[in-house]
Structure 1
Amino acid sequence: MGLGLIATFLALVVKEQKPMFAFLLTVFVGVIIFIFLVDEITKIIEMLESIARNANINMVYLQTILKIIGIAYIAEFGAQIAKDAGQAAIATKIELAGKILILVMAIPILTAVIEMVLALLPTS
């Protein structure tokens, strides 16, 4: 958080003289913050995999959900960078692409849920 605040103040100061450097600083700090979080993300993924194994959940579903979460975060990060660059229209397209990719990734899970529900319904 401290790094983000320092970068924000620096970007505001630099933006008046060199807007391109301010943008690059913003992107660079965003990537650095993400790199700092990689270890924590790895711990979360390992914990979720452990829980899924203990609950006898098919790992394909967990992997799909993790991919969906990853797509959501990457799309949000890309959209924010585009907004910071003053490209709101491109940011909107990035968000739309992320949503469509999430829907595509969710189809197997939705299919499995529908099949499970249909299997529970009585047949005549």
Structure 2
Amino acid sequence: MELLPVRSTAKGPEQNFTGDVYVTWIKTPTDPSRLTAALVRFAPGARTNWHSHAVGQTLHVTEGVGLIGTRDGKVIRMRAGDTVWTPPGEDHWHGGAADTFMCHIAMLEATDGDPTTWHEPVTDQTYQAANSG
């Protein structure tokens, strides 16, 4: 057993996020574990770019209200206590609702290389449509 130290919080990189997003890593892979976990905080209106994960991703909302959307237009409004699974290779985005902070724990498995494939930003039009639904 080992107590891991609290890691510093860093602003999410602008090339992957719109708005103010902050990431605190909880766990990075250490053999034989492939688990990656981070606490991610989204200001109102902040969101990820479109992206997918090689072996899927689990999001567990700890605070606030957020959105997660897929390329086919499906949007889930998630609240504290909700858990959402995105399957391997599914393009999606997630972030805070327009008027509410949202915090989630993002959990995924690392693979050889980066387990996340990043794409283009989510347009304001797509984000606004998701909020009005």
Indicate whether the TM-score tops 0.5.
no
Larger Rg, first or second structure (1 or 2): 1
- Larger % of helix: which? 1
- Larger % of strand: which? 2
TM-score interval, normalised by the smaller of the two chains: under 0.3
**Higher RCO (CA 8 Å, separation ≥ 6 residues):** 2
What TM-score, normalized by structure 2, do the two folds share?
A: 0.23
